[in-house]
């Protein structure tokens, strides 16, 4: 998985619309989006501009196993 960033919100909205249903992805409020390598070529063919930030960290690519909130036991 690769971390990418889009130049503006309109481009990001267009890209998310393109990715939905075609590739698995995850996006964050800070503007980073995590996509598989195969999505990069597909977005380039569609004319969607993006900047590669680098490979995903372990924490970004693996979902947390448990919630950090404590559970109340009665």
The answer to whether residue 6 is domain-embedded is: yes
Within a domain: 24: yes
Tally of domains in the chain: 1
CB 55, CB 5: distance < 8 Å: no
pLDDT per residue as tens digits for the range 11-60: 999 999 999 989 989 888 888 999 999 999 999 999 999 999 988 776 76
Rama region for 49: left / alpha / beta (φ>0; ψ in -120 to 50; rest): beta
Position 67 in a domain: no
Does pTM surpass 0.85? no
Report if residue 57 sits inside a domain.
yes
């Amino acid at each position: 998985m690769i971390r990418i960033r889009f130049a503006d919100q309109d481009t990001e909205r267009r890209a998310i619309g393109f990715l939905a249903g075609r590739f698995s992805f995850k996006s964050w409020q800070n503007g980073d989006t995590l996509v598989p390598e195969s999505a990069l070529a597909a977005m380039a063919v569609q004319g969607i501009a993006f900047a590669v930030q680098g490979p995903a960290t372990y924490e970004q690519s693996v979902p947390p196993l448990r919630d950090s909130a404590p559970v109340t036991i009665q």
